């Protein structure tokens, strides 16, 4: 069920009413688990089975790991958990991709291999909940958590509907302790939670879908028909679209959880005001980058095994981070490029780290601008359907061919306003946040801002609906 | 509890949220009610639904589910705005399904139907040669077909879609200001003066030219069709391949019992002149009609089809829709037209 659907509005109202009408904490948690399964089943009921497999497997394995003092047995159990989770993820997400590449490889060797026709449907959000359940087993294995939570609590952690299909990726250590005692949102939390939900929807429905998506779709759909100006406009539009789309979902998720008395971690912190790529990844999809850092990069040795190994670990981590987004070489290239940028940045910091001029205000803004440009150009590989489209677009962007036909002339002011507003807002809130701003606003200004946002959402719906981009991951 | 990472829950702006939301809801209610009143008072908007991919996907699914009972309409805006489905339903035993897509080529939809073994009803295709020049790959049709394929493959299976549709239809039927052409930003930024096109829940469209300046609409259409140069013969270099492609789809459909009928819908005044110069009938239509195994109907051969009000030279006025549909149904189905429903 999409947040930007009327069905969700009805669903959420019913769930909140039922949730707060009961006094028993166990009954209320049961309501949330049932609601979460309904929420997931709204796409495809069959895939609930995968959720159950993931839930029961990791809950059982974690308890066994916790109970046994035998290191070998612990290792075997964690391997079993990894095999089940990554096996499911691998089959559903990468099965077709691996088969396709195997066929190509065989073809290259002169062997004609025709696999049986199979259409593997990707269960929505599988990458998100797989990483969540894995965090629990791995934390228990590492002795950072006790496997003392009930199956009901663990089921709620895996399936909690506000963040089930597109994050933030919540760690077991962040969520499960919240299941112990009864939770009720305060009036302030409820008010701010609802506000975050409408802000998230505004980002998605109005800014991403209505203003930016048509431009990005048109430019990426026909890259050989646009001029240099349009190509840049389309690429910046996608930078804005993917931010508003994904951060919009995260904001909705955080708001919905808050209304139910739960706290979810931040997932974005003004990423387009990042100065450098390490900074970007501390601000973009924070829950994924922290997961990759803690469970992959550090497991590979992090920066503890010398400079060359650090570089290799960075590239491997970003390669797998790219692949996490989807079974496509385009995502791999996107991840590898970010790995390369991180390596270059680390090397540059070692070489030039002591130079004071690089720490000046002007230099920081220049580096921030450069980071934004490079991040935006790298999105081309993320968004383009194939390498040809990406290269055509990048060529058009770098070899001046003029303004193009300017088919977006009428929408141009709105597009530029939204993009400048986005980057300006990120710089203005680089070390701040929305809550600080709202804290200072008088009641009537708050109401005016929120009502403007609500009215905009109401009157921008009904056109072409876009699914949240991150649902496909 | 405190999270190891920061969370909005730890920074909740304090105080006055109940009052904030009460004031917010009052403002929203006032704005929505006020806009609804304004739109109704000015005769803007209309009770209609949005002409979206979701709506097309739903009808496309119906075309397959109905099998041989389906009467599938394919084409562009002339077809979408030319047929009154209620009238057609009353005149035939078949169930009409409107799959025409404005400003889109017909081939992607025709191929899609031909390759679907569940489609075995009657397929009526609006064919005008200019549509054969639109590139298939860049069309709305291609995107909506992809949306349908994704839906069927379960990639976007949404089991709550019927509930979602009902909620939208409920709101759309009550609030005129929710119609696509009556929203504040459309009126302010797009300078739309009046909404004259409405899409009904069955995807048929009505063009109500009484709401706009008919002459201006006609002049706009002529400018659009004519372009900047005098009209001259347009050679479609690969026309034989295109006809062969159409015929391949016809054969596939006919092989499983489907009937395929191509219709050249009417145009008038300067638009017809331009079309006749660019795509002369003897070079294009007649050649196609001679080579196809499907039935073909050209409006010029049936006075009753040409005897209609096309304010912009292309699209039928809504007031003529029923009359035109009756005329077309008689030509399409002859004696098998439901006599109980014939002529009011």
- Separation CA A307–CA A455 (nearest Å): 54
Interface check A6 vs B, CB under 8 A: yes
pLDDT digits (tens, 9 = 90+) for B128-143: 887 776 666 656 788 8
Q: Note whether B7 contacts A446, CB cutoff 8 Å.
A: no
Nearest to A223 by CA among A450, A399, A345, A456: A399
Q: What is the ipTM of this complex?
A: 0.80
Q: Is the pLDDT of residue B337 over 50?
A: yes
pLDDT of residue B193: 44
Contacting A residues, span 88-117, partner chain B, CB-CB under 8 Å: none
- C-beta atoms of A462 and B168 within 8 A: yes
Statement: residue B185 has pLDDT above 70: no
Alpha carbon A174 to chain centroid, angstroms: 17
pLDDT, tens only, B37-51: 888 887 665 656 777
B53 touches chain A (CB under 8 A): yes
Low-confidence ranges of chain A (pLDDT < 50): 462-464
> Residue B159 and residue A45: Cβ atoms within 8 Å?
yes
Domain boundaries, chain B: 16-45, 53-341
Residues of B in contact with A43 (CB under 8 A): 156-159
Q: Given an 8 Å threshold on Cβ–Cβ distance, is B172 in contact with A465?
A: no
- What digits encode the pLDDT tens for the residues A363-378? 889 999 999 999 999 9
Q: Considering only the beta carbons, identify the residue of A186, A191, A441 that sits closest to B21.
A: A191
Model pTM score: 0.75
- CA dist A428 and A418 (Å) reads 15
What pLDDT sits at residue B158? 63
- A265–B contact, CB cutoff 8 A: yes
Q: Which of A6, A187, A458 sits opposite B168 (nearest CB)?
A: A6
Cβ contacts (< 8 Å) between B15 and chain A: which residues?
Answer: 188
B53-341, CATH topology level: Rossmann fold (3.40.50)
Between positions 114 and 133 of B, the ones with CB within 8 A of A are none
Q: How many alpha carbons lie under 13 Å from residue A376 in its C-beta half-sphere?
A: 24
Give domain limits for chain A. 6-184, 196-472
For the cut 80, the answer to whether the pLDDT of residue B191 exceeds it is no
> What per-residue confidence (pLDDT) applies to B272?
92
Predicted confidence band at B221 (pLDDT cuts at 50, 70, 90)? confident
pLDDT at B106 over 90: no
pLDDT in tens, A423-465: 999 998 888 888 888 888 899 999 999 999 999 998 886 444 5
A120 has a chain B CB within 8 A of its CB? no
Would you state the pLDDT for residue B170? 80
Secondary structure of residue B46 in the 3-state scheme: coil
pLDDT at position B119 over 80:
yes
Contact A435 B8 (CB under 8 A): yes
Report CA dihedral (A312, A318, A320, A326) to the nearest 10 degrees: -150
Q: Is the CB of residue A311 less than 8 Å from the CB of residue A346?
A: yes
Structure tokens, A320: 């797998």
* Mean pLDDT value across residues B173-199: 64
Point out which residues pair with B264 in neighbouring strands: B298
Exposed / middle / buried, residue A186 (Cβ in 10 Å: 0-12, 13-18, 19+): middle
> Which residue reads 């949306």 in tokens?
B147
CA distance A137 to chain B (A): 18
Which H helix or E strand runs over B261? strand B259-264
| Chain A hits for B181, Cβ within 8 Å | none
Residues of chain A with C-beta less than 8 angstroms from the C-beta of B185: 459-460
Partners of A186 on chain B (C-beta within 8 Å) are 12
Report helix angle A228-259 to A187-201, nearest 10: 160
Phi and psi (nearest 5°) for A189?
A: -65, -40
Residues 6 or more apart from B177 whose CB is under 8 A from it? A459, B32, B35, B36, B38, B39, B40, B45, B183
What's the mean per-residue pLDDT of chain A? Answer: 88
Among candidates B12, B28, B168 on the partner chain, residue whose Cβ is nearest the Cβ of A451: B28
Which residues in chain B (170-229) have CB-CB distances under 8 A to chain A? 171-172, 177-178, 180, 183-185, 189-190
Give catalytic residues of A, as residue numbers: 325
How many angstroms separate the CA atoms of B142 and B148, rounded?
10
């Amino acid at each position: 069920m999409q947040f930007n659907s009327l069905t969700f509005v009805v669903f959420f109202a019913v769930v909140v009413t039922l949730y707060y009408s009961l006094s028993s904490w166990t009954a209320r948690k049961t309501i949330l688990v049932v609601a979460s399964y309904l929420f997931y089943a709204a796409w495809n009921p069959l895939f609930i089975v995968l959720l159950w497999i993931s839930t029961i497997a990791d809950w059982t394995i974690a308890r066994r790991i916790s109970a046994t003092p035998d290191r070998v047995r612990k290792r075997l159990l964690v391997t079993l958990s990894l095999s089940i989770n990554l096996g499911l993820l691998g089959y559903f997400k990468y099965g077709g991709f691996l088969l396709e590449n195997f066929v190509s490889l065989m073809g290259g060797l002169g062997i004609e291999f025709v696999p049986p026709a199979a259409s593997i449907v990707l269960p929505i959000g599988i990458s998100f909940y797989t990483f969540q359940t894995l965090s629990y087993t791995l934390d228990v294995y590492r002795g950072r958590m006790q496997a003392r939570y009930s199956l009901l609590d663990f089921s709620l952690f895996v399936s909690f509907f506000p963040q089930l299909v597109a994050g933030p990726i919540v760690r077991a250590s962040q969520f499960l302790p919240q299941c112990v005692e009864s939770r009720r949102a305060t009036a302030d939390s409820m008010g701010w939670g609802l506000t975050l939900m409408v802000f998230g929807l505004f980002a998605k429905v109005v800014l991403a879908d209505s203003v930016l998506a048509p431009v990005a779709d048109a430019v990426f759909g026909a890259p050989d028909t646009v001029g240099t100006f349009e190509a840049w406009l389309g690429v910046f539009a996608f930078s804005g679209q993917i931010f508003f789309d994904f951060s919009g979902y995260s904001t909705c998720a955080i708001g919905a959880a808050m209304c139910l008395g739960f706290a979810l971690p931040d997932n974005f912190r003004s990423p387009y005001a990042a100065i450098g790529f390490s900074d970007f990844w501390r601000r973009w999809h924070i829950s994924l980058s922290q997961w990759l850092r803690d469970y992959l990069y550090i497991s590979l040795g992090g920066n503890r095994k010398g400079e060359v190994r650090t570089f290799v670990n960075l590239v491997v981590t970003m390669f797998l981070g790219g692949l996490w987004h989807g079974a496509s070489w385009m995502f791999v290239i996107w991840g590898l490029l970010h790995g390369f940028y991180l390596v270059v940045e680390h090397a540059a910091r070692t070489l030039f780290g002591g130079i004071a001029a690089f720490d000046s205000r002007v230099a920081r803004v220049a580096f921030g601008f450069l980071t934004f440009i490079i991040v935006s150009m790298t999105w081309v590989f993320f968004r383009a359907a194939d390498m040809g489209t990406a290269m055509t677009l990048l060529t058009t962007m770098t070899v001046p061919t003029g303004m193009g036909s300017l088919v977006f002339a009428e929408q141009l002011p709105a597009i530029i306003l939204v993009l400048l507003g986005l980057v300006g807002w990120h710089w203005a809130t680089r070390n701040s946040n929305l809550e600080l701003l709202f804290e200072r606003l008088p009641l009537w200004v708050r109401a005016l801002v929120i009502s403007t946002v609500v009215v905009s959402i109401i009157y921008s719906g009904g056109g072409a609906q876009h699914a949240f981009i991150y649902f496909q991951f | 509890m405190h999270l190891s990472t920061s969370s909005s829950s730890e920074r909740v702006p304090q105080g006055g949220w109940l009052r904030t939301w009460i004031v917010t809801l009052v403002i929203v209610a006032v704005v929505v009610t006020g806009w609804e009143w304004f739109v109704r008072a000015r005769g803007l908007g209309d009770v209609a639904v949005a002409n979206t991919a979701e709506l097309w996907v739903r009808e496309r699914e119906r075309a397959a589910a109905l099998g041989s009972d389906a009467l599938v309409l394919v084409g562009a805006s002339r077809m979408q705005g030319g047929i009154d489905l209620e009238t057609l339903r009353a005149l035939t035993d078949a169930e009409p399904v409107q799959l025409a897509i404005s400003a889109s080529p017909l081939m992607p939809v025709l191929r899609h139907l031909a390759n679907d073994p569940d489609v075995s009803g009657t397929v009526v295709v609006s064919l005008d040669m200019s549509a054969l020049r639109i590139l298939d790959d860049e069309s709305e049709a291609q995107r909506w077909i992809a949306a349908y394929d994704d839906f069927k493959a379960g990639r976007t299976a949404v089991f709550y879609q019927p509930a979602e549709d009902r909620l939208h239809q409920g709101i759309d039927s009550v609030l005129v200001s929710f119609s696509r052409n009556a929203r504040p930003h459309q009126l302010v930024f797009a300078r739309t003066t009046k909404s004259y096109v409405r899409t009904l829940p069955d995807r048929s469209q009505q063009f109500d030219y009484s709401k706009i300046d008919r002459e201006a609409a006609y002049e706009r259409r002529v400018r659009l069709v004519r372009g900047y140069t005098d009209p001259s013969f347009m050679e479609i270099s690969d026309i034989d391949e295109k006809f062969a492609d159409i015929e391949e789809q016809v054969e596939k459909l006919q092989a499983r019992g489907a009937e395929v009928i191509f219709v050249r819908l009417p145009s008038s005044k300067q638009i017809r002149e331009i079309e006749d110069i660019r795509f002369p009938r003897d070079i294009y239509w007649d050649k196609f009609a001679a080579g196809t195994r499907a039935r073909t109907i050209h409006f010029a051969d049936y006075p009753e089809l040409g005897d209609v009000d096309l304010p912009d030279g292309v699209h039928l006025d809504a007031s003529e829709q029923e009359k035109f549909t009756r005329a077309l149904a008689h030509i399409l189905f002859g004696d098998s037209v439901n006599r109980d429903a014939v002529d009011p």
